[in-house]
Amino acid sequence: MSEIIRVTVWGEYLHERQDEKVRAIYPQGMHTTIAEGIREYLGESVVVRTATLEQPEHGLTEDVLASTDVLTWWGHIGHHLVADEIVDRVHDRVLSGMGLVVLHSGHWSKLFTRLMGTTCSLRWRDDDREVVWTINPGHPIARGVPPVFIIPEQEMYGEYFDIPQPDELVFLSSFRGGEVFRSGCCFVRGQGRIFYFSPGHETYPVYYQPEVRRIIANAVQWVYAPPAPRYATSTCIHSPLGWFEQEA
């Protein structure tokens, strides 16, 4: 018996409304397609809703976050439009146990750079294809994912990627120019699990690809921490051994 994971898929939803090419691929927005992929693979074990930048409080109200177990994040040209108080709120929720899946250009979001504590900058180039290698096949996020697969059209993201050393690395990508990139990285911050997954440039249909959908769905399950007693860091507790006199 497993519990139902409550997922909120956050999308900046700007390219899709400003750029015909992107709109043709994602007419309802990338967030809608990402949400469909999660539902496709996780079925009744999840409830998935979406939230976007333009909504009041970017759709991430206290109530929404309190009832979100896992948040996914896609942003790019609107990183600076995300209000600091909302970043504070989401950051706090991650530290207290909400799972977070950061996608593609979300690497430069206020939220991710703050959680990482580094610039999270990287090298990039247009018009390539990406070869994704599973380098940690025993990891839960790699379940059902082939040893290697190709994303036929993709932007190149390459090293050096200025992140802290990931706790676990699940995928490594390579490109035509010989570039490599740590494309699937796991982190823990406070009580929250974080997975960064780099595929997903807005001008290519990456979020329709089965392997990509499978990975995001697996990541939702991995970052999900079942409800458990939270330990408030400000609370003083006594040792279960009780008080004792120190030997002289």
Q: What residues line the site for Zn ion (CB under 5 A)?
A: 105, 155, 201
Nearer to Zn ion, 103 or 215 (CB): 103
Cβ at position 40, least distance to Zn ion in Å: 23
C-beta atoms surrounding 18 within 10 Å:
10
Cross-strand bridge partners of residue 172: 133, 182
The least distance separating Zn ion from the CB of residue 82, rounded to whole angstroms, comes to 17
Q: To the nearest whole angstrom, how small is the minimum distance from the Cβ of residue 25 to Zn ion?
A: 13
From CA 169, how far away is CA 165, in angstroms rounded? 9
Fill in the DSSP letter of residue 4.
Answer: P
CA-closest candidate to residue 105, choices 178, 200, 39? 200
Residue closer to Zn ion, measured from CB, 51 or 206: 206
Residue placing its CB nearer to Zn ion in the complex, 139 or 201: 201
DSSP letter string, 121-177 = --EEEEEEEEEEEES-TTSGGGTT--SEEEEEEEEEEES----PPPSEEEEEEE-TT
Tell me whether residue 12 or residue 69 sits nearer to Zn ion (CB atom). Answer: 12
Question: Closest distance between Zn ion and the C-beta of residue 52, in Å?
Answer: 18
Q: Closest-CB residue for Zn ion?
A: 201
